[in-house]
């Protein structure tokens, strides 16, 4: 039922029949119009002794854009084929699908497929891979996920163009989708199409994004309002990245050093650099220093008196686990990958960025920056194996394209909308909340996440331009885990329960 992505067209030189059985001369090559290649399967999962029956529709949906030439409408022309996996609960005869919420989910990157949220947290099947320090060997495994959000919401997982099995059409330009604006428009169109084709405009609707997916979700909340009049009930922002100015290490910007400090302290604590002190105590000390003295110390620069500099070096060494000499040499400003390379240098190990609980080896231990992220190295294999097996063996979807788990082919990613400024979507999120005061926001943070530090999320949300009355619409959740907190089993169970409560609370308040 799945068509080949590059089915052979009739080649020049062949003859072709016309009405009446006559033949013409050499034929012009015919390129088949792209078409949806969806497959549908039905499944059952047992949760707390009860069976939940559900339908899965998987495959590529063709996106089309309206074209105009010289003020004349040229029709809807295919632009891309987007891989989508949709889960809908089987409600029984006569039930109204609108009674079910629907959650549209995607990861980030840019360049990531939706594999992580799909098979790690939200879907009814999940990866078995072990955890930091106790990883399982290949070929890993799959198991039912009784904590799936499908219990409370239908689910639609979207792979943006060039990730997963999603591609621009043959002859199309992938670069049109490899940027902030093109990405938001294309993913927004997938959401509109699915909502319309499945008659779900009257369903409660949520977006769940992770990492750059939170950037996309925040922008989509406003885009869907403006472009289609589609208002959301809530956003689930996992490992939020909302304002590059609070996170990205750029010359002259001290904010990231301040915002990363509690994360450095948490990772140092995990690796035994704080003795038997409780994590909560370490985090409190780091947060107080980041909220108070540290920004002042950095702002003074060369004006900082020597005794104060010495105290700052000592405090940072205590919090980060780095040596005073190293901190003095980097001018009190440890960049995050440099920190992850330096922390366990004496043990000849490097530390993960996506999840600071993971460690690995490198080519040598005189490097300034590690050669790869050991946490990404640890999780990519299990998830890739699970997805490639699952879609074919259980969902019946066949495709010879490689499934792009996390690809660099989307780079360079265009931020043309932010010329001469850093990426930020706080204005779009704030406007979406002001326009739709019923939209709620859930922000999930991992203490060991060195990609999107939790203090940056706190800082960014605190700077939303919303009235005080809307502050109650925002909630935070924290986990002793990394960027993908569901890799840690206790955090996965806790997070699943919190997201379920977030969605069901919306129903109760409807």
Tens of pLDDT, residues 254-290: 999 999 999 999 999 999 999 999 999 999 999 999 9
DSSP three-state, residue 99: helix
H helix runs in 230-278, sequence order: 255-270
What pLDDT, on the 0 to 100 scale, is given for residue 27?
47
Q: What is the pLDDT of residues 8-42, one digit of tens each?
A: 333 333 333 333 334 444 444 555 789 999 999 99
Tell me the sheet residues that pair with 205. Answer: 102
Contact 274, 322 (CB under 8 A): no
Q: Is the peptide bond before 139 cis (omega within 30 degrees of 0)?
A: yes
Strand ranges for 96-187 from DSSP E: 102-106, 125-128, 130-131, 134-135, 141-144, 154-158, 167-168
pLDDT higher than 60, residue 505: yes
Q: List the domains of the chain with CATH numbers.
A: 91-245+382-508 (3.40.50.1820), 252-375 (no CATH)
Q: What is the pLDDT of residues 189-227, one digit of tens each?
A: 999 999 999 999 999 999 999 999 999 999 999 999 999
What pLDDT, on the 0 to 100 scale, is given for residue 487?
96
Tell me the sheet residues that pair with 89. Answer: 54
DSSP three-state, residue 288: helix
Q: What is the pLDDT of residues 410-466, one digit of tens each?
A: 999 999 999 888 999 999 999 999 999 999 999 999 999 999 999 999 999 999 999
Q: Is the peptide bond before 412 cis (omega within 30 degrees of 0)?
A: yes
Contact 433, 473 (CB under 8 A): yes
Convert 204-233 to b/e letters by CB count within 10 Å (16 or more is b). bbbbbbbbbbbbbbbbbbbbbbeeeebebb
What CA–CA distance (Å, rounded) separates 310 from 61? 60
Contacts (Cβ under 8 Å, ≥6 apart) of 405: 112, 113, 115, 164, 380, 383, 384, 387
What pLDDT, on the 0 to 100 scale, is given for residue 47?
96
What pLDDT, on the 0 to 100 scale, is given for residue 420?
80
pLDDT higher than 90, residue 472: yes
Structure tokens at 161: 């163009």
Q: How confident is the model at residue 50 (pLDDT cuts 50, 70, 90)?
A: very high
Average pLDDT, the chain: 92
Mean pLDDT of 377-396: 97
Mean pLDDT of 56-83: 87
Rg of the chain's alpha carbons, rounded to an integer?
Answer: 25
pLDDT higher than 80, residue 48: yes
Mean pLDDT of 150-177: 96
What pLDDT, on the 0 to 100 scale, is given for residue 218?
98
DSSP three-state, residue 7: coil
Structure tokens at 409: 């082919």
N-terminal to C-terminal alpha carbon distance within the chain? 40
pLDDT higher than 90, residue 317: yes
Q: What percent of the chain has pLDDT over 90?
A: 87
C-alpha angle 268-271-277 in degrees, rounded to nearest 5:
70
Structure tokens at 46: 């047992």
What pLDDT, on the 0 to 100 scale, is given for residue 32?
74
Q: Which residue has the higher pLDDT, 334 or 12?
A: 334
Q: What is the pLDDT of residues 175-191, one digit of tens each?
A: 999 999 999 999 999 99
77 half-sphere exposure, CB direction, 13 A CA radius: 12
pLDDT higher than 50, residue 6: no
């Amino acid at each position: 039922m799945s068509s080949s992505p590059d089915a052979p067209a009739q080649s020049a030189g062949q003859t072709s029949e016309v009405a009446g059985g006559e033949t013409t001369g050499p034929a012009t090559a015919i390129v088949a119009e792209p078409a949806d290649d969806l497959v549908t399967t039905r499944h059952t999962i047992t949760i707390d002794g009860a069976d939940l029956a559900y339908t899965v529709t998987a495959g590529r949906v063709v996106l089309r854009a309206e074209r105009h030439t010289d003020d004349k409408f040229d029709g809807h022309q295919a632009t891309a084929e987007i891989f989508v996996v949709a889960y809908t609960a089987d409600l029984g005869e006569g039930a109204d699908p609108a009674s079910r919420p629907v959650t549209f989910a995607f990861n980030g990157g840019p360049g990531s497929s939706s594999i992580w949220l799909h098979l790690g947290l939200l879907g009814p099947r999940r990866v078995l891979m072990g955890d930091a320090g106790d990883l399982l060997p290949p070929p890993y495994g799959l198991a039912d996920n009784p904590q799936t959000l499908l219990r409370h919401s239908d689910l639609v997982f979207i792979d943006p163009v060039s990730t997963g099995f999603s591609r621009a059409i043959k002859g199309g330009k992938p670069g049109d989708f490899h940027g902030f604006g093109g990405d938001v428009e294309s993913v927004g169109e997938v959401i509109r199409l699915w909502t319309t084709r499945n008659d779900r405009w009257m369903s409660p609707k949520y977006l769940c994004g992770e990492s750059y997916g939170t950037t996309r979700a925040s922008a989509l909340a406003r885009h869907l309002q403006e472009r289609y009049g589609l208002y959301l009930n809530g956003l689930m922002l996992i490992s939020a990245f909302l304002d590059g100015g609070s996170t990205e290490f750029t010359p002259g910007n001290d904010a990231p050093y301040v915002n990363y400090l509690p994360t450095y302290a948490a990772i140092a604590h995990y690796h035994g650099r704080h003795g038997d002190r409780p994590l909560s105590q370490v985090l409190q000390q780091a947060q107080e220093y980041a909220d108070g003295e540290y920004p002042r110390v950095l702002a003074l620069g060369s004006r900082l008196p020597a005794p104060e500099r010495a105290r700052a070096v000592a405090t940072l060494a205590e919090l980060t686990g780095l040596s005073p000499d190293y901190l003095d040499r980097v001018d009190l400003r440890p960049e995050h990958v440099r920190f992850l390379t330096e922390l366990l240098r004496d043990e000849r190990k490097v530390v993960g960025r996506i999840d600071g609980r993971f460690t690995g080896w490198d080519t040598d231990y005189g490097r300034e920056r590690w050669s790869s992220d050991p946490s990404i190295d640890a999780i990519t294999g299990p998830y890739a194996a699970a997805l490639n097996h699952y879609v074919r063996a259980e969902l019946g979807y066949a495709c010879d394209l490689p499934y792009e788990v996390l690809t660099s082919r989307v780079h360079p990613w265009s931020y043309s909308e932010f010329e001469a400024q850093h990426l930020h979507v706080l204005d779009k999120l704030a406007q979406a909340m002001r326009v739709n005061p019923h939209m709620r926001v859930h922000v999930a943070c991992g203490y060991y996440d060195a990609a999107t530090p939790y203090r940056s999320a706190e800082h960014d949300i605190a700077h939303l331009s919303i009235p005080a009355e809307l502050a109650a619409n925002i909630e935070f959740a924290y986990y002793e885990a990394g960027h993908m907190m569901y890799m840690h089993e206790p955090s996965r169970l806790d997070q699943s329960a919190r997201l379920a409560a977030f969605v069901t609370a919306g129903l109760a308040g409807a």
